[in-house]
Amino acid sequence: MRRIGLCISLLVTVLVMSACESEGEAQMFADCDQKTVKQTEAKPMSSKKKQDFQALASDRQLAIVFSSMIQVSEAFDYGIGNPEYFVRSSMTEEEADIAKENLESIKLENKSLKKQNSEAVALLQKTRNQDMSRIEIQQLTENRAAFFETADSMIKLIGQVTPKNAKKTRQQLDQLKKQYTQYSAESVKIMNSIVRKQKADKASFERHLEALLQKQPGQQVRSELY
């Protein structure tokens, strides 16, 4: 199976969330087999469900929020990584068309994915110990914004690739991919810091996170709250 350079495997994500304590360990992002992570637009949370969320322990609240963000990241990993694979320094018109065709999925899902991320950030600001991690929550919010800005730049570049500009496009994508990977790694590191700052039960958080991330493709990780 073809391998793509942007995809973060669930296993690596869980391991990083539970173990990365240094800058070096936060870079444990590896290539993985492509997978389709279909998204459905999240429904607004009812007043009762908001109360249900606020009644949860910190470890479970954070697992719900971060699994939702990770799901969004994985959708972008696949949606950008697949077409990015086809962009080479030298391309034919047909090859350029194939790259653009593979971009259609993420272009269609872009808006709903960003909405899901925004709703996850809003939930994060409602977690029971959010006052203990205000700085980190702001850092994560800014990090996600930078992540999406880089992702959008990559989408735009791939969407405009031609045989004539293929070499320049490939060079620009290589630079953006480094930024994309860096923002992904930094987001997980910040999530780790929030778990610590909010004094959540780490072992319980990891169990809930892993369970949510193992849901079947197409299932919303926050479906239990809707």
Residue-wise pLDDT tens digits, 146-166: 999 999 999 999 999 999 999
pLDDT confidence of residue 54: 86
Residue 200 inside a domain? The answer is yes
Contact 136, 105 (CB under 8 A): no
165 within domain boundaries = yes
Determine if residue 223 is left, alpha or beta; phi over 0 gives left, psi from -120 to 50 gives alpha, anything else beta. alpha
207 lies in some domain: yes
Total domains in the fold of the chain: 1
Amino acid at site 177: K
Does 112 fall in a domain? yes
Which tokens hold the place of 8?
């973060």
Q: Is residue 118 part of a domain?
A: yes
Helices (H) and strands (E) in the chain, counts: 8, 2
Residue 64, both tokens:
């719900």
Residue 50 counted as domain residue: yes
Residue 104's domain comprises: 3-28+44-219
Nearest 5°: the CA angle 79, 81, 87 is 115
Beta-carbon contacts of 190 under 8 Å, excluding residues fewer than 6 positions away, are 136, 139, 140, 143
Whether residue 21 has pLDDT greater than 60: no
For 89-106, the pLDDT digits (tens) are 999 999 999 999 999 999
| Entry pTM | 0.79
- Give a yes or no: residue 34 inside a domain: no
The answer to the question of residue 39 being in a domain is: no
